[in-house]
């Protein structure tokens, strides 16, 4: 997890300078049972989707804590996507339901402190929904592209010194 963030951070700083060719970096936390398998299916079925997402495989969407989401933002991610099984389909019975409970609280809190709405998204994708996964990634990428590069809550090491 920290490795992914570090790479995205170094790449980010070099890329933000070239605004014309800017492509957002989106960290996608996918649950291993549904959404990750859905992404796999999208790949196997050759559905095209934007290559902007960096996938982090997690055991369950309920495993994704606010620490991880904020840590990804801090490291320079332009967008976050958390995706799990559809309600009722969770491998652990209710992990995604707890994730759904938490999602509006974190989303609203981030909006409250001035993070643009649309940076953090959540979704449900089952293992058989390859096409839907591609659609969701397209929507999320377009949304983040419209917002532009993230500038808030990013820790810039060179400036901190």
Partner 1 sequence: MPTINEKLTEEIRTQAKALLADGTVAAVIGYSRGSLPMTVKPTVVRASEDCGKLVWNSFCVLNLANYLPEVLKSVEPPRGPRDPKPEGPLAKVAVLATGCWSRNIVVQTQEHQVDRDRVVVLGVASRGMVSRRKVEEQFAGREILAVEEFDHDLVIKGADFEEKINRWSVVRDNCQTCTRPDPVLVDVRIGEPASERKNPNPFQQVDKIEEKSSDERWAWFTSEFSTCIRCYACRNACPLCYCPTCFVDDAKPQWVGKSLDAVDTGLFHLLRAYHCAGRCTDCGACESVCPMGINMRMLTKKLNKDVLNLYGMEAGMQPASPLPLTTYATDDPQKFIVTEAKAVKEGE
Binding residues for partner 1 (CB under 8 A): 1-2, 66-67, 70-71, 74, 81, 87-88, 94, 97-98, 100-117, 120-125, 129, 132, 135-136, 138-140, 142, 152-156, 160
Residue with Cβ nearer partner 1 (54 or 138)? 138
Please give the span between the terminal C-alpha atoms of the chain, in angstroms, as a whole number: 25
Task: State the Cα–Cα distance between residues 152 and 113, nearest whole angstrom.
Answer: 10
Give me the least distance between CB of 22 and partner 1, in Å please. 20
**d(C-alpha 70, C-alpha 80), whole Å:** 9
* Closer to partner 1 by Cβ: residue 21 or 147: 147
| Tokens read off for 2 | 């920290």
DSSP 55: E
- Smallest separation, CB 127 to partner 1 (Å): 14
Which run of H or E residues covers position 36?
Answer: helix 35-44
Eight-state DSSP code of residue 82: E
Closer Cβ to partner 1, 18 or 93, answer by number:
93
C-alpha radius of gyration, the chain, whole number? 15
Residue 142 CB, shortest distance to partner 1, in Å, is: 8
Closest separation between CB of residue 20 and partner 1, Å? 24
Min. distance of Cβ 35 from partner 1 in angstroms?
12
Measured in whole angstroms, how far is the alpha carbon of residue 29 from the centre of its chain?
6
């Amino acid at each position: 997890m920290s490795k992914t963030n570090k790479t995205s951070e170094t790449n980010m700083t070099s890329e933000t300078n070239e605004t014309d060719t800017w492509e957002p970096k989106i960290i996608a936390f996918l649950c291993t049972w549904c959404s990750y398998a859905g992404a796999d299916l999208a790949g196997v079925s050759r559905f095209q989707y934007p290559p902007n997402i960096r996938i982090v495989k997690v055991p369950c969407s309920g495993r994704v804590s606010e620490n991880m989401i904020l840590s990804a933002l801090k490291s320079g991610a332009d967008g976050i996507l958390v995706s799990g099984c559809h309600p009722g389909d969770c491998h652990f019975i209710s992990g995604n339901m707890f994730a759904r409970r938490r999602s509006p609280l974190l989303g609203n809190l981030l909006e409250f402190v001035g993070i643009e709405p649309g940076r953090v998204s959540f979704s449900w994708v089952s293992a058989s929904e390859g096409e839907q996964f591609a659609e969701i990634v397209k929507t999320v990428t377009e949304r983040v592209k419209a917002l532009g590069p993230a500038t808030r809550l990013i820790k810039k090491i060179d400036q901190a010194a």
